[in-house]
Amino acid sequence: MEVKHVTVLGAGLMGHGISQVFAETGKYQVTMRDVEQRFIDNGMKMITESLQRYVEKGIINEKNLKEILTRIHPTLDLNEAFEKPDLIIEAVTENPKLKTEVIAQADNLAPSHAIIATNTSTISITKISSATARPEKVCGMHFFNPPQLMKLIEIIRGEQTSDETVDVIRRTALTLGKEPVIVNKDTPGFIVNRILIPALNEAVFLLEKGVAKPEDIDKACVLGLNWPMGPLKLLDYIGIDTIVSIADVMAQETQDRKFLPNELLRQMVSENRLGRKTGEGFYNWIKEQR
């Protein structure tokens, strides 16, 4: 099967970036659907601003920018969203109940040939696909933040995902200029978060116990482990609330306490110190953005 038209469900942090990548690099026709106009408007604003930065850097020109935007079709309408996609990518909040409901709705309304991919970073693909009548056409397609820049895509099989579905998603990922990896066993957290969540928790533990300052913990990981970004800055960049949600799901699914988020992270969520998106986390982002 050849993918020509893509529907992205969600215009938020990940959804708008995924939509941009498909329209910009893959040159696909993209329908970006959300439930409120303000989400749509904000998603299109972020896409335009991202592309404008590329213009300023000489990566694309104004003509390219306009062409890319004409390939993105924002909508609130369910019928329009599911009229003709070959591939549907769910990119809503990391909430198992919500994701399952959205996937079930897509299954009911989308063409029978369409593949349904979820951008979940940790939730079981098998559980999500059980809400559909086409589990063989459901898989994980996990982009990393920001999707416009990060090269990796994890492709995750559910228990009934077909080889054909995995191959279509793999070939599609390559057209986006991405590097896909295949996760053959549907395990919570897949590859990256399975390794990352305990590491982030440990970095927060070191800070909480006064072992080192945030800047030194991050510098140690950048220079000692060759990480491109330190763990505390990464937490701020991803969003503290997002990491807590991921860690809670992984702890629940595995029944392993090593994935439970550090209590300092929960406290930061309660104080709305979520990192870059609220201006304060482990670092002061308001000062950096001036």
Confidence of residue 256 (pLDDT cuts 50, 70, 90): very high
Q: How confident is the model at residue 288 (pLDDT cuts 50, 70, 90)?
A: low
Query: Is 113 a known active-site residue?
Result: no
* pTM confidence score: 0.89
> Going from the N-terminus, what domains does the chain have, and what CATH number goes with each?
5-183 (3.40.50.720), 195-289 (1.10.1040.10)
Question: What mean pLDDT do residues 159-188 have?
Answer: 97
> Which residue is catalytic, options 154, 201, 245, 280?
154
Q: What is the pLDDT of residue 39?
A: 97
User: What band does 34 get if pLDDT is binned at 50, 70 and 90?
Assistant: very high
Among the listed residues 19, 119, 193, 245, the single catalytic one is 193
Q: Per-residue DSSP letters for the chain?
A: ----EEEEE--STTHHHHHHHHHHTS--EEEEE-SSHHHHHHHHHHHHHHHHHHHHTTSS-HHHHHHHHHTEEEE--HHHHTSS-SEEEE---S-HHHHHHHHHHHHHHS-TT-EEEE--SSS-HHHHHTTSS-GGGEEEEEE-SSTTT--EEEEEE-TT--HHHHHHHHHHHHHTT-EEEEE-S--TTTTHHHHHHHHHHHHHHHHHTTSS-HHHHHHHHHHHS--SS-HHHHHHHH-HHHHHHHHHHHHHHHT-GGGSPPHHHHHHHHTT--BTTTTBSSSBHHHHH-
Q: What's the pLDDT at 253? A: 87
Q: Is residue 142 annotated as a catalytic residue, yes or no?
A: yes
Residue 193 falls in the annotated catalytic set:
yes
Q: Which pLDDT band, with edges at 50, 70 and 90, does 145 fall under?
A: confident
Average pLDDT of the chain is: 95
pLDDT digits over 78-120, tens only? 999 999 999 999 999 888 899 999 999 999 999 999 999 999 9
Of 142, 201, 245, 262, the active-site residue reads: 142
User: Which member of 121, 201, 245, 262 is catalytic?
Assistant: 121
